[in-house]
Structure 1
Amino acid sequence: MDNLPKPDVILTHESDLDGLVAGVLLQRLAKKLFDTEVPLEAYHYNMWKQRELKEKCAWVTDLNFEARIDRPNWLVIDHHASEAPAKQARLIHDLTKSAGLLCYDLCQQNGLGSPELDRLVHLNNVADLFLEDDPDFVIAADYANLVKVYQFWNLHSLIEGQLERLLNHPLLEVMDVKRRVENPLGFAWSKKNVTELSPTVGFVDTVIGNNNLIVHQLLEEKATPFPVLITLFRRTNGLIIVSLRSKDGEAIKVAEKLQGGGHANACGASLPRSIKTIPDAITYLKQILNPKKEATLNSLENLFDSVSIGNQ
């Protein structure tokens, strides 16, 4: 794409490897085109929806395209399903490619490709699109798990923003051992510890292993009666993150109820900061996902209270 607008900021998704790859690649592209260091900001979906958009120009990637970012002189590069038409912003959109691959296409058009980036972007694409039949699927999942385990900004600092340093990184040995040893143990334990949040949504408690792969196996084997499975993760800053998975496109509907987003079968959200613990999160999710049931229970409780007071 010719004549890209000069961005004031680059905005990306904080929760996964795709957001990291896409964001850093756009930083590199901006440096090449405009000879300046453009700041990179990363957000979970809930925080992203609350961010004020004051910039005259921004590049946005791996965050759902929506009407509020359909702005003149804004560039949006994304691969999530969206019904919002682009009337003012420049939108590069392809459901069949990860955000990282879409951004890398732009980089290659501007002479920023390399064999190392070819490999890393491929692995990211396989992991983010969950391409199970690809021969690199297992190792790609290990790369993706680096961000899940060590978190976006920690990993960004460790590699000093140089994506190529992720290739064959020593921490991948840790991911390999965790996968081979922890996943079978974690799957067996989690299979016995699934809590109903609603008739169609189950909370999968996890103790060890790659949560995404464990949940994927539960869905593949139909080991629970729930078409949507949720895992919860409490970050060091206290924010509780919800990860949702399904097989038939149901996960995104649940994520939207939680002000989150993502893919049809793989998406996420973060809970309000007032939710401090996992038990509180479970209670909150039951209330959100069963509004009619909760309303009925509250009405019955009020009725019982009124009867009790009347008999005093």
Structure 2
Amino acid sequence: MFSLPKPEVIITHESDLDGLISGLLLKRLAKKVFNADVPLEAYHNHNWRQRSLNERSAWIADMTFETRVDRSDWVVIDHHTTEVPAKKAILIHDLNKSAGLLCYELCQQHGLSSPKLDRLVQLSNVADLFLDKDPDFTIANDYANLVKTYQFWNLHELIQGDLERLIDHPLLAVMEVKRRIENPLGHAWSKANITELSPTIGFVDSVIGNLNLIVHQLLEEKETAYPVLITLFRKGNGTMIASLRSRNGEAIKVAEKLQGGGHANACGATLPRSVQQIPEAIQYLRQILNPPPVKDGRLNNLESLFEGINAAKS
């Protein structure tokens, strides 16, 4: 067992249950190891990349490992694809485990575990990795949908930071009804309302239902010609979030064009703050995903130069 540095802050992913579980488990671990109430912060990918890193030490969970967090006395626990080797930071990384499971395994090494946490982490792992053949896949997505529906900090306040309170929470009955009644209606409507963003990317509009499961069904049953499907979600503060899904690894390449990240087939991106409405988002995505062709050759470069000069004169 390696020695953990005392963190000044714990940072996690704001968008899903895996991030919530990871962050709260690490807070519990810091309390056990250092008897300290370390502040917890949560970010979407775009806001995380814009955050300055002034802390001497930090624990980061469910965020892609990158060069800027490769620092001494920093610990990164993650499961997203990365090409950056850890030279200074402590990196706990496994593509086949959710960040919450990796954090829980670290907690278990320090004597922190319970039957309820065993169950919650297992369900979150199934949902986050989208293990659709697992017998608990349906109920796991009900748990994951709690964060999607009620948002990270609202749910955090509701359970007062106590993860065990999520097990058999009364709101799961709401998730079950939404799944059973709303999803079939939402699937039929969304299937008929797919908008082309590019020849290989479609925007799936929605009015009701668990959009992740609806999109998964559209892709799995090949009900659309687009290999990548994008959905949009507007947060309470107006920020527009794009969620991308695919079956063969195409989604992550599109997310990177939008300055986002995540898994090969499930990832996301935060759109610019100037994009506030769905029509604006569709227009923005079309511009980014359909760039004008680059003129090749010296002659074309000269033509571009003269065009620029003429434009400046006019």
Does TM, scored on the shorter chain, surpass 0.5? yes
Aligned-residue identity in percent = 72
Partner residue, 2:298: none
Deviation of the 1:133 alpha carbon: 1.1
CA-to-aligned-CA distance 1:208-238 (integer Å, 9 cap, x gap): 0000000000001111111000000111100
Partner residue, 1:19: 19
Partner residue, 1:64: 64
Partner residue, 1:99: 99
Deviation of the 1:275 alpha carbon: 0.6
> Structure 1 residues 154 and 294, CA, compared in 2 at 3 Å: closer, same or farther?
farther
Is there any run of 5+ residues in structure 1 with no aligned partner, and where?
A: 307-312
Tell me which amino acid in the other structure corresponds to 1:260. G
Partner residue, 2:299: none
For residues 64 and 292 of structure 2, what CA distance do their matches in structure 1 show?
29
For residues 265 and 294 of structure 2, what CA distance do their matches in structure 1 show?
27
For residues 43 and 111 of structure 1, what CA distance do their matches in structure 2 show?
28
Question: SS at 1:2's partner residue?
Answer: coil
For residues 95 and 220 of structure 1, what CA distance do their matches in structure 2 show?
22
Partner residue, 1:310: none
For residues 99 and 294 of structure 1, what CA distance do their matches in structure 2 show?
40
1:2 counterpart = 2:2: yes
1:229 counterpart = 2:223: no
CA-to-aligned-CA distance 1:159-205 (integer Å, 9 cap, x gap): 00000000000000000000000000000000000001011110000
Tell me which amino acid in the other structure corresponds to 2:290. N
Partner residue, 2:156: 156
Deviation of the 1:13 alpha carbon: 0.2
* Superposition map of 1:200-219 within 5 A: 200-219=200-219
Partner residue, 2:54: 54
CA-to-aligned-CA distance 1:124-170 (integer Å, 9 cap, x gap): 00000011111100000000000000000000000000000000000
Deviation of the 1:2 alpha carbon: 2.5
CA-to-aligned-CA distance 1:46-100 (integer Å, 9 cap, x gap): 0000000000000001000011111111000000010011111000000110000
Question: SS at 2:53's partner residue?
Answer: coil
Partner residue, 1:309: none
> Structure 1 residues 294 and 235, CA, compared in 2 at 3 Å: closer, same or farther?
farther
Deviation of the 1:294 alpha carbon: 11
For residues 36 and 66 of structure 1, what CA distance do their matches in structure 2 show?
27
For residues 277 and 95 of structure 2, what CA distance do their matches in structure 1 show?
35
For residues 7 and 38 of structure 2, what CA distance do their matches in structure 1 show?
7
What stretches of structure 1 move > 3 A for 4+ residues in a row?
Answer: none
Partner residue, 1:89: 89
Tell me which amino acid in the other structure corresponds to 2:43. Y
Question: SS at 2:219's partner residue?
Answer: helix
Question: SS at 1:291's partner residue?
Answer: coil
Tell me which amino acid in the other structure corresponds to 1:230. I
For residues 198 and 131 of structure 2, what CA distance do their matches in structure 1 show?
29
Question: SS at 1:292's partner residue?
Answer: coil
1:243 counterpart = 2:243: yes
Tell me which amino acid in the other structure corresponds to 1:23. G
Tell me how large the CA RMSD over aligned residues is: 1.5
Q: How many correspondences in the alignment? A: 298
Question: SS at 1:190's partner residue?
Answer: helix
Deviation of the 1:266 alpha carbon: 0.3
* Superposition map of 1:289-300 within 5 A: 289-292=289-292
